[in-house]
Structures are given as structure tokens and as C-alpha cells.
Structure 1
Amino acid sequence: MEKEQYLGVSVSPLTYDEIIQDVEQRIREGRQSTIIAVNPEKVITANRDPLVKDLINQSTYQIPDGVGILIASKLKGGNIQERVTGVDMMERLLQFAAQENHSVFLYGAKEGVVSEAKKKIEERFHGIHIAGYENGYVSDHEALIEKINASGATLLFVALGSPRQELWIQEHMPHLNVKVFQGVGGSLDVFSGNVKRAPSLFRKLGLEWLYRLLKEPKRFKRQLALPSFLFKVIVKR
């Protein structure tokens, strides 16, 4: 799996299906896998913070979550053909877990959010086994590690916000029997129904950022990361 590099940050060119196939093989081999979403904002942050850059580059899969990454790949003649968003990757992994009888653990968000997400996921994905869940306000992490291991979960979704969730995964992964880790940010809010995604047309056109900006104009400063990122990519090219 040859990865692409943007301002020193690795990005996996794999599609959803290719990642699932690779994950399935790694599970059979008993290997652990980590998934982190990469967008222009995160690349800019990584160039300011070596710790964040290392977190991203050490991950198994750096999924191209952001239209800016797709544009950058085209500018550099790369092989990234489609966006692989964090929330859709989680959905594909949940489908995979239900089909292959792999149990899941959810960690993060507020109690009402994670419990409702569990309920909605179980309703949506027939036969899925949510082995356990915990909200994001745990203070005894040793007890949490024991709970996750006792659950027998194969997949763990961590919703603590980035990069906190990735730091947590990096620190505790050696002590966990889990095989697939994904930091999912606000995805539990989506699965719980508390947050509505952009309409499908916006998603297909890669314009979720525009939809969110229209809904929350205060996000304008964050969106400036996109032109800044593309300018730096073009100059470096």
C-alpha cells in the first residue's frame, strides 16, 4: 500500500472496499489496525505540531476525509479517486462487523449520546453485537481497558475529538486486545440522530464543508485551512 504525501503527511489512496478487505486480512493475521481521518485542517495542524504529524503518519490507514485532499491528489497526479469520510468509514466497518460477527465497543461522547448511538446502531445493523460502551468522561482508564478487553470487542470506536482520541488510542493500544481502532470525532452524534449530515447532493459533490459553513458561519476561520493547504501543495509541487 503505497501512500501519498502532502506537506509531509501520509494519506492512504485506498477506497472503502479496499480498506475493509485489508482490515479483514489483518484481523485474520491477528494484527492491530488504526484509522485516522485526514483533511486540510489536520494537515496544517500537523505541520505546526510534530506530535500530530507522527500520530497521523504512524496510523495504518490515513483516510482522505476532505475534498481538499482529493484536489491535492489530482494536482500531484496521485491515485486518490474518492473521499473516504470518517463517518462513512465507521458505517462500513459497522456493516462489516455485523456481517462477519465481530463485536464492537463504543467509547466517548456524552452518556445520552453514546447510549442512543448504541441503540440506533443496533436497530440499523441487523445482528450487530455492541459488546459494550462507555461515555467520554471516564477517569479510571485502567478499569476502562479491563472492561473493553473483557467485552471481547474486535472493533473500538473512540469519540473524544481529535487529536485527543488518537493520543488515547496510541497510549492504550498495546494493552488492548482490540484489532481495529478508529477515532470517530462527532460521528456518534450523527449515529444517535443528534446531528444531521449534509444532504446527499452536498456529500456527492464534496461540499459538506459548504453546507456546514452555511449552517454555522462561525466556522469561516476553520475553512481558511483549505485554500492555505492547496496553495502550499501547489508551491511545493
Structure 2
Amino acid sequence: MSKKTVSILGVNFINTTLDGMVGKLSEHVQKNEKAFVVTANPEIVLHALQDANYKTCIDRADYVTADGIGIVKAAGLLGTPLPGRVTGFDMFMKLLQLANEKSLSIYLLGAQAEVLQLASETIMKQFPKVKIVGSHHGFFDWADDKIPNEIKATKPDFVFVALGLPRQEKWIAANINNFEKGVFMGIGGSFDVLAGTVQRAPEIWQKLNVEWLYRLVKQPSRWRRMLALPHFAMKVVGQKVKRSS
């Protein structure tokens, strides 16, 4: 399956829309193929620059999507524009809709047990034809084979991994070769949003591309993480200068 990509600081982002990405993943499911999806924001790109092992995990992904507006702005600055954000939460919801329409199966991995339970209940209410074939909270021993064995046995169409940066990408990279099929995707805090324990920015904030600011207002403790944005911008400017020289 051919794909066009845009390179930002060594990470290759797929050049597609949200609907285009969902269509590609639907094809993988129809063909009983595996796919590894990373939904990357500037923080993930910077972590890949600093951690060679993590960069190797990102490079193993079949698709890296532009989760943050910073990625879209960077692509434009580099003269290789992307059509827009393809966020983990939006893709998660679109894939749940697809799974509901086609009665597909899913496995949920991550978050606290209470959050995972609430998210599962929300899925069952909003998407009653989705088959939740298994789930596990995000606090487990990586050496324990229980979770991989459950996934092997149930063979879900989608495995949604909400372990956060960098654990979710590392877990998928370490385990995906053990499975025959399935779309594996890291989705950060999406279970918390679906469960209602974390509120996503209102639509107007999303349209203005200041969702990051809304999260900062709601969670001031995130300010240290926000320092990644100017650092990322400086790195991208450096990449542009190198290309021009």
C-alpha cells in the first residue's frame, strides 16, 4: 500500500486526512493485516530525537499521523504541507464508528482500572455493535504474558493502547510481531476523555487550534510539558535552514 510522507526532524508523517487514514486502516482490517499507528505531537518527535530506542520504535510504525497543530505548522514551514491534524482521539472515535457499523472487535489496554471500566461502558452504550473482546488497565508487569496471550487468543481487529508517551509505542513495537492481525494504535489519554474524567477542549478551541492552551488552563501542572513547543519550533527552524543552505 503506497503512502506519501512528510519528514519532520527525522519522523515521517503520512500525508493524509482523518477520513483517508481511517480508510487505510479499514483496508488493513478487511485483509486481516497488521498495522502499527503512532499519533505524534511535537513532544513525541522531541522524545524520538533524544531516545534512540524510542526512535527505533517510531520507525517501525506503518503510519505516523500529525496529532498536534505544531506538526502541521512545522510541515508548512518546511514547504511540505499536511492537510491537517489526524489526532489520536478523533481517529479512535472514527474507528469505533467503523467497528460499530461492521461489528468489529476491539481490545483496550491502558489507564487506571476505574477509568478503563467507565470507558468500556461508554463504548458499549454509544457503539453497541462493537465487540470488546478484552481489556486490561495500564499498570502491569511487562514480563507477564497475560495480555499478549489474551490478544493472541481473541484476535481483535483493533488494539487501542493508552499507556502514554513513550510506553504505548514501546509496548506495541515490542509485541506486535507476536500477533497475526490487528490495527495497533497508541491513543494517549483518550480513555480518560471517553470516560469523562478529563474534558476535551470545546469545539471552538479545537477549530482555533488552541486545544493545547485549553489543556494548560485546565491543568496548569502541564506547563513544563508545554516547554517542548518552543524547543520543537527551534529545531524545525534549524531543519529549514539546513535545507536552504
Tell me if the contact between 1:104 and 1:129 (Cα under 8 Å) persists in the aligned partners.
yes
Contact 2:111 2:137 in 1 (8 A): yes
3-state SS, counterpart of residue 144 of structure 1: helix
- Report deviation, 1:138: 3.1
Residue 35 of structure 1 and its aligned partner are, at CA, apart by 1.1
Distance 1:178 1:193, change over 3 A: farther
2:146 aligned with 1:143, yes or no? yes
Q: Which of 196, 201, 208 is matched with 1:198 structurally?
A: 201
Q: Would you say the 8 A contact 2:106–2:157 is kept in 1?
A: yes
Q: Mean Cα displacement is larger for which, 64-73 or 212-221? A: 212-221
Give the match's secondary structure for 1:34.
Answer: strand
* 8 Å Cα contact 1:107/1:133 also seen in 2: yes
Is the contact made by 2:32 and 2:181 (CA closer than 8 Å) also made in structure 1? no
Alignment of 1:1-237 (within 5 A): 1-139=3-141, 141-237=144-240
Q: SS in structure 2 opposite 1:141?
A: coil
Aligned to 1:182, the other structure's residue is in SS state strand
Task: Name the CA distance, whole Å, in 2 between partners of 1:94 and 1:177.
Answer: 21
Q: Distance in 2 between matches of 1:47 and 1:134?
A: 30
Q: Deviations over 1:53-93 (max 9, x none)?
A: 22222211111011111111111222311111111111111
Superposed CA RMSD: 1.5
Secondary structure of the 1:117 match is helix
Identity of aligned residues (%): 37
**TM-score normalised by L of structure 1:** 0.94
Cα separation, 2, equivalents of 1:208 and 1:169:
27
How far did residue 141 of structure 1 move? 3.0
Aligned partner of 1:116: which letter?
L
Cα distance in 1 for partners of 2:76, 2:147 equals 43
**Whole-angstrom distance in 1 between the partners of 2:147 and 2:238:** 46
Letter in 1 for 2:161: V
Which residue type is aligned with residue 220 of structure 2? P
